[in-house]
């Protein structure tokens, strides 16, 4: 079974405008409401690719109820923990000439709720996959990722971490099965600018020496790279298409990698190219990637 964790999920209110003018009334030409959060995005795309997962996290209030219902309508099997106070956040994504995001704060996650999450994680079995993705709300301990990985250590659970610089570096001693930085984040971890594929590969290998097993590196229009624990390295150009929506593209890449790995019985090359195609399919669409869109881009990549 595949599990995803989203500590602070949201209702994402998508607005498209011809132009955004501060201090004035702005009228949308397109709007949509989607279940938000990196782990939830992973679960949605996994479902689109034919793989069931269980989405864990915290919800509260009437927005939490709406979020759970909306996630279900997208095929997500949820097992959220309901908080007694507050409400799940609403994030406003404004797409005009530039993308602007207004993100809510979210509810307080108390110690009892944290304990409830760990109790749910105890249900994971050997061979399961756990995706930890996104930022940590300020009401949770800064080391919650490490606590989860330590709690599950020695149980043969594949843990994937998709997080920013400090969070990612802190989990490396726990040997995550897969991490997914982008090339800029990778350079920031080592306080340098990476100028070439060789630079990226050399610094990714340093992360492997620090504990990461497999590394998936997104490079926007330059494509992607993969370094496997078995010594394999793969590179792919970015598929051709028109960028419509960058939100969720990285999460989709993670979902595609997981799906490709499962479908191919553990072939990292298949997993990598499926991840690249899936991330791009979401970027080229108003919504998250579908199997039809992914298959079309795989053919474009010669796969």
Query: Which value, to the nearest 10 degrees, does the dihedral of the CA atoms of residues 20, 23, 25, 30 take?
Result: 20
State the distance between the two ends of the chain, measured CA to CA, in whole angstroms. 27
Q: What are phi and psi of 179, to 5 degrees?
A: -125, 155
Q: How far is CA 208 from the centre of its chain?
A: 20
| H/E element, 261 | helix 249-263
Q: Write down how long the chain is.
A: 303
Tokens of 115: 């304990």
Residues labelled as active-site residues: 251
Residue 244: partners with Cβ closer than 8 Å, 6 or more residues away: 283, 284, 285, 286
């Amino acid at each position: 079974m595949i599990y995803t964790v989203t500590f602070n999920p949201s209702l994402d209110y998508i607005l498209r405008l011809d132009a955004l003018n501060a201090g004035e009334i702005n009228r949308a030409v397109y709007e949509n409401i989607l279940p938000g959060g990196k782990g939830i995005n992973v679960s949605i795309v996994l479902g689109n690719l034919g793989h069931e997962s269980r989405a864990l996290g915290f919800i509260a209030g009437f927005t939490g109820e709406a979020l759970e219902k909306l996630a279900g309508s997208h095929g997500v099997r949820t097992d959220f923990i309901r908080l007694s106070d507050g409400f799940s956040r609403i994030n406003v994504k404004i797409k005009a000439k530039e993308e602007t995001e207004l993100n809510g704060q979210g509810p307080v996650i108390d110690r009892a709720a944290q304990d409830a999450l760990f109790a749910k994680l105890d249900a994971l079995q050997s061979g399961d996959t756990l995706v930890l993705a996104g930022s940590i709300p300020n009401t949770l301990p800064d080391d919650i990722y490490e606590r989860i990985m330590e709690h599950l250590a020695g149980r043969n659970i594949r843990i994937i971490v998709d997080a920013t610089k400090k969070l990612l570096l802190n989990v490396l001693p726990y040997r995550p099965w897969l991490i997914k930085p982008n090339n800029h984040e990778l350079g920031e971890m080592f306080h340098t600018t990476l100028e070439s594929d060789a630079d990226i590969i050399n610094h990714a290998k340093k992360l492997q020496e620090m504990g990461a097993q497999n590394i998936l590196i997104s490079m926007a229009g330059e494509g992607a790279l993969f370094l496997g624990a078995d010594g394999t390295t793969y590179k792919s150009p970015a598929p051709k298409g028109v960028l419509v929506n960058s939100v969720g593209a990285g999460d989709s890449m993670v979902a595609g990698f997981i799906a490709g790995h499962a479908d191919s019985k553990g072939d990292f090359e298949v997993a990598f190219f499926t991840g690249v195609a899936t991330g791009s399919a979401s970027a080229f669409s108003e919504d998250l990637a579908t199997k039809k869109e992914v298959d079309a881009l795989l053919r474009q990549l010669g796969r």
